[in-house]
Amino acid sequence: MSEYHNPVLLKESVDALIINESGIYVDCTFGGGGHSREIVSRLAEEGKLFSFDQDEDAVNNKIDDPKFELIEQNFRFLKNNLRFRLIRQVDGVLADLGVSSHQFDTPERGFSTRFDGELDMRMNQNAKLSAKTIVNEYEQEDLARIFYDYGELQGSYRLAKEIVKARAIKPIETIEELKQIFSFIPKIKENKFFAQMFQALRIEVNDEMAALKDMLTQCADVIKPGGRLVIISYHSLEDRLVKRFIKNGMFDGEPERDMYGNWYAPFKPLHSKVIIPEQDEINENPRARSAKMRIAVRNENQ
């Protein structure tokens, strides 16, 4: 097994997920298999875990156990893949969102500002859209939109303008070439700035917000009443979507209320507050510092 990363909130997430050792569970983000291995270790012989991952590198970490099956697909196709396997409902779904340390630490994948390499950022290496395509072909208005919406960057229109000006001279192909365009950013703000910009590009490349919405919506169908939904997110855009969905089953707008002012939501939160890692875990695994976990229980159908 290649090392991807230490799984974040491992015990806490699996403790929250496993309510039936003979049940059927889904790990939407297999990666290095840390969470999946822990889940499988807690299942009885008749239990089953289906794990999703679209990164072909993840296949190297496949678990050799009859209770386990790896589905090489984006988790946005959760429901269809389960139905194909004649599974209509499961006891719980876990998703540890974000980019694995393995992807960040592989320079040619283009996820990290720490290395120079081609602007890529594809989680599915067979996908057509890459970060290089975005920075060289997107209209200025579209670049500004993704920097503002997905990176929460101020002055996004100016940032987009700088890219358009630079690419008119020469295509922007590498991480270093992109960083050089913004050499005017003060050193003290550089790390945060590029983290936000790369987050915006990565989300656009992988259509992450739409995929998350698709998966959450399908969870309302595939998790049986009383089953658990456990989501670990790493930035506020994801966490807001998850929080809102758990609250009322929607991502925007207001739910329809009955004559008494009540609405039906498919899930209810198990805890009133978000769960974060203990300081000891953050010290051992810096990736955990921004993690937020939310746990929800599938309501009875009404």
Output the 3-class SS for the chain: CCCCCCCCCHHHHHHHHCCCCCCEEEECCCCCCHHHHHHHHCCCCCCEEEEECCCHHHHHHCCCCCCEEEECCCHHHHHHHHHHCCCCCEEEEEEECCCCHHHHCCHHHCCCCCCCCECCCCCCCCCCCCHHHHHHHCCHHHHHHHHHHHHCCCCHHHHHHHHHHHHHHCCCCEHHHHHHHCCCCCHHHHHHHHHHHHHHHHHHHHCHHHHHHHHHHHHHHHEEEEEEEEEEECCHHHHHHHHHHHHHCCCCCCCCCCCCCCCCCCEEECCCCCECCCHHHHHHCHHHHHCEEEEEEECCCC
Residue 258 in marked binding region: no
Residue 33 in marked binding region: yes
CA angle 264, 270, 276 (to 5 degrees): 130
Residue 103 in marked binding region: yes
- The Cα–Cα gap between 69 and 160 comes to 43
Residue 75 in marked binding region: yes
Residue 49 is which amino acid? Answer: L
Q: Which residues are annotated as a binding site for S-adenosyl-L-methionine?
A: 33-35, 53, 75, 96, 103
Q: Which residues are annotated as a binding site?
A: 33-35, 53, 75, 96, 103
